[in-house]
Amino acid sequence: MSQTIRIAPLTRIEGHAALDIHLDQDGDVSEARMTVMSLRGFEKFVVGRPVEEVPRIVTRICGICPWQHHLASTKAAEACLGVTPTPTATKLRELCQMLATIPDKILHFYFLAAPDFVLGPDSDPAGRNVVGLVGAAPELARKAALMRYKTQMGLEKFAGKVIHPVAVLVGGFSKPLMEEDRRELTALAQEALAFSLESVKLAREQIFPKYLKLFQELGEYPSAYLGLVNPDDGAMALYDGIFRLMDQDGSYDEFPASDYLAHLAEKVEPWSYLKFPYMRKSGRLVMDEKAPVGVYRTNCLARVNVCEGISTPQAHGELEIFRREFGRPAHQAFLYHWARLIELVHCCERALELLADPEIMGRDIRTQPIAPRAGEGVGCVEAPRGSLIYHLKTDHEGMVTAANLLAGTTHNNAGMNLSLKQAAKTAIRGGVYDQGLLNTVEMCVRAYDP
Amino acid sequence: MVTIAEEWLNSCSGCEIALLNLGETLLDLLPDLSFVHIPVLADNKYYGQTGERSALEIPKAQVGIISGGVRNEEHLEVLHVMRKQTDILVALGTCATEGGIPALANLTSTASMREMVYRGQPSTVPGPDPDTEAHHLPRMLERCDALHQHVAVDLSIPGCPPHPDWIAEAIGALLAGRAPKLPSRSVCDGCPTYRTGKSSSPALHRLLDQPAYDADQGLDAMQCLLEQGFMCLGPVTRRGCGGRTGSPRCISARVPCRGCYGRISAHTMPMVDYVGALTSVGQNFAAMPDKQGYLSRFDGSEAILKKLED
């Protein structure tokens, strides 16, 4: 008799989802899906609000990456109003993005993912968490916890509020960076860089080799990848750049965020509240793990795949090690973890570069005056979970009349579903499964950091 | 040892990050706490670890902590199970206490929201909409509610997110068996900016304009942002965002308050009280744009939001 296994909630991820595995009468997997359980509808209720208030509302889409929502929506609002932020403000924003990304990556790797690696995918689920990690590797866990905490507090001290930030304003930034802030944040970023280099070395030498084999057995599939790059040299770009949409064979299209509609489309499926973006040129989306059509992925693995290199030296060195091992583009979902740590190194290095730039200490933090007007604009940044696109329209009073949003996890919806379907089909046969196998399937979703 | 079950409903995970932002305090508290259920950090499953049960279960715990409001049938089910399984139920964060920003959805109908998201977007190719009859998807409710509108709540910790000081105070009080001391006055009560008693601006400013201040001087050398004509919601918002000793966080960033700690008490009405606050600095409430979007931004489950369409 056929049956459905529902694993809910998906745990150690940053959202609300369930895993449904359908077994046929032989106990083999006929279908496996990640169902996103709710719709909050921010796109609907920002309509009617003053456009400059959108960056203070959409932060609540994600308490883990509120800075990226704050930034991308501000850029879209500025495009509507025809405003360009000052050079100092642009650097302050990028600095905040780098500093906000560091604790996010530490959180994901150590708090959410590492319990599987250190304690084992099939260890007792009651202890397979950060408390268990503290028990198994107390020094490492404490160090990671404190590093995450210190970067959060350092950013909060400068920007006033770190969770659901308020410092980015249409036209600029709310306050200048003072010498004392610069000194403290520099010391912090140096400490974070040392920790990041230790982390990537530890993972590369002691953790990844074992799990790469496991995940190879669970399967991989080729897809396209989306990420921002620097228009001049194709280097990885997190704060600003043009989109590169790279196909399975490494060929690519480039386009500015404002052209996103020509390249990306979204499908609605009756079994999830979350939509499924796909490549418009494919004409359709087919989530068949053997012959996928239209599937592209985003987030850190996509970014290391699409870029020509990384502008900071230590992260670039790590990218070269990665490319020697896995080529380009690399397709295995588990490699998201590896790519995430490369980006962690880059964010620390880039924060230090920005802090050493004299222009960041400028007092010209905001373009004034700014007048409301009718307009339309697209803003984007790279968020930890992938490319984040805001598309806003305003009326002559600067009130929002339309809003469309493609967030990181949404871009990866099809990709995550394919990975878990492939893993479930490989791991579960003849109706035989246990909590360890199911957790291994869940690890495929966790790699994407949804 | 206190057992804790934690859940997040119509939420963003900011409250959970605020919990982690207890930092070393949390590490020190950990030996006294046992989390029996917390989806963001640990693997306990509603239907058993292999999906073997048909009913949603959460283990018993002395303390239940819930962030997020109630927006769909699964949230409601989880809320009722949490109430039944825990002795003390804590609403953590403004979404849980007053709906929070997601309760701005109460300005609109669920049907029109779904219509826009699944059929009305330029990137979306309409297909069969999410179908709660044919698939295991929770039905959306017509409104976004706070927890107390459905079950008895023993302790409310507002904030978007709550400052870690208040989370620590609440946990410490629960461990010690005493009532926690949480802030109860307005943001203005703890705001260091100076006031002259009259407005320095002839008209209200939106945040398109820039407040005046000297970056080389402290917050106490900055004139009250409401007096400067900015729509600061400090007068109608509960204080506490800066923790025990800090200044209000938005003021620290040199921007006006937007009300994220919710109403000062359950008996106040920001929409009415703000008329007086603006009048006191010589501003005209009638000139304020998008009143609901400012004054009910965080308490949409409590305010009677007028539906603006359909």
Contact of B299 with B103, CB cutoff 8 Å? yes
Which of A13, A36, A266, A373 is the mutation pick for testing B, counting most B CBs within 10 A? A266
**DSSP tag of A307:** -
Contacts of B251 in chain A (CB under 8 A): 160
Alpha carbons A96 and A165: distance in angstroms, whole number: 10
- Contact assignment for A271 to B74 by CB distance below 8 Å: no
Write out pLDDT tens, residues A114-169.
999 999 999 999 999 998 998 899 999 999 999 999 999 999 999 999 999 999 99
Alpha carbons A25 and A430: distance in angstroms, whole number: 9
Contacts of residue A210, defined as CB under 8 A and 6 or more positions apart, other chains included, come to none
Q: Map tokens 């529902």 to a residue.
A: A6
Peptide bond into B161 cis (omega under 30): yes
Write out pLDDT tens, residues A224-277.
999 999 999 999 999 999 999 999 989 999 999 999 999 999 999 999 999 999
Alpha carbons B93 and B155: distance in angstroms, whole number: 11
Radius of gyration of chain A (CA): 21
Residues 183-222 (A) with a CB less than 8 A from some CB of B: none
- CB neighbourhood size of A99 (10 A): 28
Q: Map tokens 């690399």 to a residue.
A: A330
Residues making up chain B, counted from first to last: 310
Write out pLDDT tens, residues A323-379.
999 999 999 999 999 999 999 999 999 999 999 999 999 999 999 999 999 999 999
Q: Quick check: B111 contacting A, CB < 8 Å?
A: no
Q: Quick check: A149 contacting B, CB < 8 Å?
A: yes
Q: Quick check: A64 contacting B, CB < 8 Å?
A: yes
Contact of A420 with A215, CB cutoff 8 Å? no
Alpha carbons A59 and A66: distance in angstroms, whole number: 4
Peptide bond into A329 cis (omega under 30): yes
DSSP code string of A366-431: B--------EEEEEEEEETTEEEEEEEEE-TTSBEEEEEEE-HHHHTHHHHHHHHHHHHHHH-BTT
Average pLDDT over residues A419-439: 95
Inform me whether the pLDDT recorded for A180 exceeds 80.
yes
Q: How far is B213 from chain A (nearest CA, A)?
A: 10
* Tokens at B124, concatenated: 């979306």
* Tokens at B116, concatenated: 């826009």
Alpha carbons A187 and A190: distance in angstroms, whole number: 5
Q: How far is B166 from chain A (nearest CA, A)?
A: 15
**Which residue, A255, A217, A203, is CA-closest to A380?**
A255
* CA dihedral sign of residues A433, A439, A445, A448: negative
* CA dihedral sign of residues B251, B256, B262, B265: positive
Inter-chain CB pairs, A–B, below 8 Å: 295
Contact of B274 with B233, CB cutoff 8 Å? yes
Q: Quick check: A345 contacting B, CB < 8 Å?
A: no
Inform me whether the pLDDT recorded for A216 exceeds 90.
no
**Which residue, A367, A360, A158, A73, is CA-closest to B210?**
A367
Alpha carbons A328 and A325: distance in angstroms, whole number: 10
**DSSP tag of B23:** T
Identity of the amino acid at A235: A
Alpha carbons A365 and A412: distance in angstroms, whole number: 35
- CB neighbourhood size of A210 (10 A): 9
Alpha carbons A52 and A375: distance in angstroms, whole number: 13
**Which residue, B21, B15, B7, is CA-closest to B159?**
B15
User: A413-444 burial by CB neighbour count: b if 16+ within 10 A, else e?
Assistant: bbbbbbbbbbbbbbbbeeeebebbbbbbbbbb
pLDDT (0 to 100) of residue B306: 62
Alpha carbons B297 and A166: distance in angstroms, whole number: 15
CA A345 to chain centre: 15
Alpha carbons A127 and B30: distance in angstroms, whole number: 14
Backbone angles phi, psi at A293, to 5 degrees: -125, 130
Q: How far apart are the first and last CA of chain A?
A: 33
Q: How far is A359 from chain B (nearest CA, A)?
A: 16
Alpha carbons B204 and B224: distance in angstroms, whole number: 14
Contact of B97 with B262, CB cutoff 8 Å? yes
Alpha carbons A263 and A254: distance in angstroms, whole number: 10
| Residue ranges of E strands in chain B | 2-8, 33-37, 61-67, 70-72, 86-92, 124-125, 140-145, 155-157
**CB hemisphere CA count around A170 (13 angstroms):** 26
Contacts of residue B48, defined as CB under 8 A and 6 or more positions apart, other chains included, come to B57
pLDDT (0 to 100) of residue B24: 81
Nearest CB to B130 within list A272, A363, A404:
A272
How many helices, marked H, and strands, marked E, lie in chain B? Answer: 9, 8
Give the residues of chain B that fall short of pLDDT 70. Answer: 304-310
Whole-prediction pTM value? 0.98
Contact of A273 with B133, CB cutoff 8 Å? no
Q: How far is B131 from chain A (nearest CA, A)?
A: 5
Contact of A364 with A90, CB cutoff 8 Å? no
Sheet strands side by side (includes B33-37): B33-37, B2-8, B61-67, B86-92, B155-157
Q: Quick check: A140 contacting B, CB < 8 Å?
A: no
Alpha carbons A152 and A209: distance in angstroms, whole number: 31
Q: What is the mean pLDDT of chain A?
A: 96
ipTM for this prediction: 0.97
* Residue in A closest to B308 by C-alpha: A48
Nearest CB to A275 within list B23, B124, B255:
B124
Q: How far apart are the first and last CA of chain B?
A: 52
Provide the 3-class DSSP secondary structure of residue A277: strand
Farthest CA pair distance, chain A: 71
Q: Quick check: B59 contacting A, CB < 8 Å?
A: no
Residues 411-440 (A) with a CB less than 8 A from some CB of B: 433-435, 438-439
Contact of B254 with A168, CB cutoff 8 Å? no
Alpha carbons B308 and B298: distance in angstroms, whole number: 17
Backbone angles phi, psi at A164, to 5 degrees: 60, 65
Contacts of residue A410, defined as CB under 8 A and 6 or more positions apart, other chains included, come to A266, A274, A275, A277
* Tokens at B287, concatenated: 């000139």
Provide the 3-class DSSP secondary structure of residue B287: helix
* Tokens at A403, concatenated: 């809003």
